[in-house]
Amino acid sequence: MEIPTGTVADALNHLLEQYPQMKPHIYTYWGILSANILFYVNEDEIFTRQGLDTPLEPGDRLIMVPTASGG
Protein backbone atom coordinates (compact mmCIF):
# COMPACT_ATOMS: atom_id res chain seq x y z
CA MET A 1 0.00 0.00 0.00
CA GLU A 2 1.35 3.41 -0.90
CA ILE A 3 1.23 5.86 1.96
CA PRO A 4 1.87 9.58 2.03
CA THR A 5 5.17 10.72 3.50
CA GLY A 6 5.08 11.96 7.05
CA THR A 7 5.75 9.89 10.15
CA VAL A 8 5.15 6.32 11.21
CA ALA A 9 2.14 7.57 13.20
CA ASP A 10 0.73 9.19 10.04
CA ALA A 11 1.21 5.96 8.11
CA LEU A 12 -0.56 3.91 10.79
CA ASN A 13 -3.44 6.39 10.86
CA HIS A 14 -3.71 6.10 7.07
CA LEU A 15 -3.70 2.30 7.33
CA LEU A 16 -6.40 2.32 10.00
CA GLU A 17 -8.59 4.62 7.91
CA GLN A 18 -8.54 1.89 5.25
CA TYR A 19 -8.70 -1.08 7.65
CA PRO A 20 -10.20 0.01 11.01
CA GLN A 21 -10.56 -3.61 12.12
CA MET A 22 -6.76 -3.77 12.51
CA LYS A 23 -6.68 -1.20 15.35
CA PRO A 24 -6.99 -3.70 18.23
CA HIS A 25 -4.10 -5.67 16.73
CA ILE A 26 -1.82 -2.63 16.46
CA TYR A 27 -2.76 -0.63 19.57
CA THR A 28 -3.56 -1.78 23.10
CA TYR A 29 -6.70 -0.82 24.99
CA TRP A 30 -4.70 2.11 26.42
CA GLY A 31 -3.74 3.41 22.99
CA ILE A 32 -0.08 2.38 22.96
CA LEU A 33 1.56 0.19 20.35
CA SER A 34 1.08 -3.51 20.92
CA ALA A 35 4.13 -5.45 22.07
CA ASN A 36 2.95 -8.24 19.74
CA ILE A 37 4.11 -6.40 16.61
CA LEU A 38 7.57 -5.11 15.77
CA PHE A 39 7.68 -2.03 13.55
CA TYR A 40 10.55 -1.29 11.17
CA VAL A 41 11.33 1.48 8.73
CA ASN A 42 13.44 -0.29 6.17
CA GLU A 43 15.84 -2.32 8.40
CA ASP A 44 15.65 -0.16 11.55
CA GLU A 45 13.23 -0.84 14.38
CA ILE A 46 11.32 2.39 14.98
CA PHE A 47 12.25 2.46 18.68
CA THR A 48 15.93 2.72 17.76
CA ARG A 49 14.97 5.90 15.90
CA GLN A 50 12.15 8.24 16.93
CA GLY A 51 9.34 5.78 17.61
CA LEU A 52 6.02 6.85 16.12
CA ASP A 53 7.62 10.19 15.18
CA THR A 54 10.13 8.48 12.87
CA PRO A 55 9.93 10.33 9.56
CA LEU A 56 9.14 8.47 6.36
CA GLU A 57 10.74 9.49 3.10
CA PRO A 58 9.61 8.53 -0.41
CA GLY A 59 10.63 4.93 -1.04
CA ASP A 60 10.81 3.95 2.65
CA ARG A 61 9.09 0.74 3.70
CA LEU A 62 7.14 0.44 6.93
CA ILE A 63 7.27 -3.20 7.94
CA MET A 64 5.11 -4.77 10.64
CA VAL A 65 6.27 -8.13 11.97
CA PRO A 66 3.95 -10.07 14.29
CA THR A 67 5.75 -11.75 17.14
CA ALA A 68 5.15 -15.22 18.51
CA SER A 69 4.98 -15.91 22.21
CA GLY A 70 3.96 -18.68 24.49
CA GLY A 71 5.40 -21.97 25.40
In the 8-state DSSP scheme, what is residue 27? B
1 within some domain: yes
Structural domain of 32: 1-37
Question: Residue 2: pLDDT above 90?
Answer: no
CA atoms within 13 A on the CB side of 13: 9
62 within some domain: no
Give me the number of domains the chain comprises: 1
29 within some domain: yes
pLDDT tens readout for residues 31-56:
999 999 999 999 999 999 999 999 99
50 within some domain: no
54 within some domain: no
Question: Residue 69: pLDDT above 80?
Answer: no
17 within some domain: yes
Q: What is the pTM of this model?
A: 0.87
Q: At 71, is the pLDDT very low, low, confident or very high (cuts 50, 70, 90)?
A: low
